Structures are given as structure tokens and as C-alpha cells.
A = this chain, B = another copy of it.
Amino acid sequence: MSIPAETRAQVLMQALPYIQKYHGKIIVIKYGGNAMLSEELKQAVMGDLTLLAQIGVRVVLVHGGGPEITDLMQKTGKEPVFADGLRVTDKETVELVQMALAGKVNKDLVNRISLCGGRAIGLCGIDGRMILAKARDERLGFVGEITDVNPQPILDMLAAGYIPVVSTVGCGEDGSVYNINADTAAEHIAGALGAQSLIMMTDTPGILREQGKPNTLITELTVSRAVQLIREGVISGGMIPKTHCCINAIRRGVERVFIIDGRTAHAILIEVLTDEGIGTMFR
């Protein structure tokens, strides 16, 4: 349990080349899934961010918060409405989304980073008119599609020494508020920032050659190979849109995109500061 001093020194020294490599670079972390539900994992992720920021990485956290939205909707007795089988986000719902994301999840994450000794500022896409959006489909109401990302507020926060924590709520030209898919928002934000890396935290070990067999993990993937794997059906179901986000991020100029397992404690640190890659890396 107590780690000997030599081991500690060894671990720190082995991190040096990675610290040098990422110094001053922007890493966008899409935070979600189980890593967001367990108290312990949440604490580990916030610690990882704080450490990375402290050693000179420019860290940006992008989060959704499905469970918190559902929770607030249930509390307010708001019934889900469907149109042609799709969930409708009416004005009242998008207000609850805004409250749950920008009011609850966002500030809770900022609070936790502070407790780790980090300095964070919580933003949403409305702040500084950062995420501009329009309705994706009139029938779905305030489900938004990103029309533009203005990275200036994030860059300003980074320049002032804060970790920006971003809720994926967008705003329209007319002031309407939209609920934005967090994976898509992370992809756009990483692209607009010219980020060096985008790390997508998921509830899977990464992309597997065979479903359910973690030992068939594909550790590295080019865009063209990823497209092929979707076509071949190796990547399927919920991994398809996630893979599309990864591909798009690469196309928007992000150097490396990682799908990592958010269920592993300190997965981010392990991915960034050690030679043990976990998950799948897109180039």
C-alpha cells in the first residue's frame, strides 16, 4: 500500500517526456457515462484534470449530463413527449436541461476541481455566444445542431489560467436555447480550438474487433480504416455516432482523438502521462 520512494521517483521521471510533449498543448476531454456517476471516478477525473493543468497542459472539459436531466424532469413530473418516435424537447424541457447542465452538473464539476486545488470557470454555450445552434428538426423542438463555435471565451479562460468547464447548451440567433449532443459539441470545440488531443470518455474499453471481448481492442486507427470498420459492421450501434465524432474531429484538425474507458480510475492520466495507452487512438 505504501509506495516506496524509489518507485515514486521512477514514476515521476517516466512521466517527464509526456509532460514535455503536452506542455502548452490543448486537450479537450469529453466527460460522460459511468465516469460521471461514480463519486470515486468523478473525483479521480477532476484530480487528473487539475494535475494536467498544473503541469502546463491547457485542459478543457466538455460535459453533458443525461442522468441529471432525467432526474430533474422526473422531479418536476415532466412527461417525455414523442413525435414520430423521437423525443421532443419543448421550451419547458430545454429550460430544465439548461438548469440541470449549466446550473447543476457544471458548477458541481467546477466545485470539485476547486477542492483539488485547481482553478475552474464553468461556462455554457450561451456565455460569450460560444455555441451557436439552430433547430435540428422543427418537430423535435429545441434539439440543436451546431452552426458555429466561437472558441474565444475558452481561450480567454485558458489565458487567464482557468480550466474551462463547458456545458453543451447552445443558443440561436434569436436567443433560443438548444440542447446539444455532448459528443458533437466536444468534436466542434476541439476543432475550433485547434486542440492537440480530444479524449472521449466512454463506458467501453475502446473499439473492439469482436463485441464483448476486451482483448480484441484496436489500439490505433486511421480515419479511413475507421470508415471501413463501420461499413464492415465491426463498429456498430452506439459506437457508430461516437466514431463519427472522432473522425470529424480529426478532419477538423485535431491531431489525436482517443476513446478511453471512463470506468478505469485515472484513465486520463494513464493515457496522457504514461506509455501505457489504454483505449483506441484515432489519427
Tell me the count of chain A residues lying within 8 A, CB to CB, of chain B: 73
User: Using an 8 Å CB-CB cutoff, how does the interface string of A96-122 with B read, 1 for contact, 0 for none?
Assistant: 001111111011001110111101111
22 pairs of residues in contact across A and B, judged by CB atoms under 8 Å? A8-B276, A9-B44, A9-B48, A9-B265, A12-B51, A16-B117, A54-B56, A55-B56, A56-B56, A99-B103, A99-B104, A101-B103, A102-B102, A102-B122, A107-B124, A114-B126, A114-B128, A114-B175, A121-B123, A122-B127, A128-B162, A160-B160
| Beta-carbon contact of A265 and B99 below 8 Å | no
Closest 3 CB pairs of A and B: A103-B103, A9-B266, A99-B103
Copies of this chain assembled into the complex: 6
User: Does A86 have its Cβ within 8 Å of any Cβ on chain B?
Assistant: no
With a cutoff of 8 Å between Cβ atoms, the chain B residues found around residue A153 in the complex are 121, 162
| Beta-carbon contact of B51 and A116 below 8 Å | no
With a cutoff of 8 Å between Cβ atoms, the chain B residues found around residue A159 in the complex are 160
User: Does A23 have its Cβ within 8 Å of any Cβ on chain B?
Assistant: yes
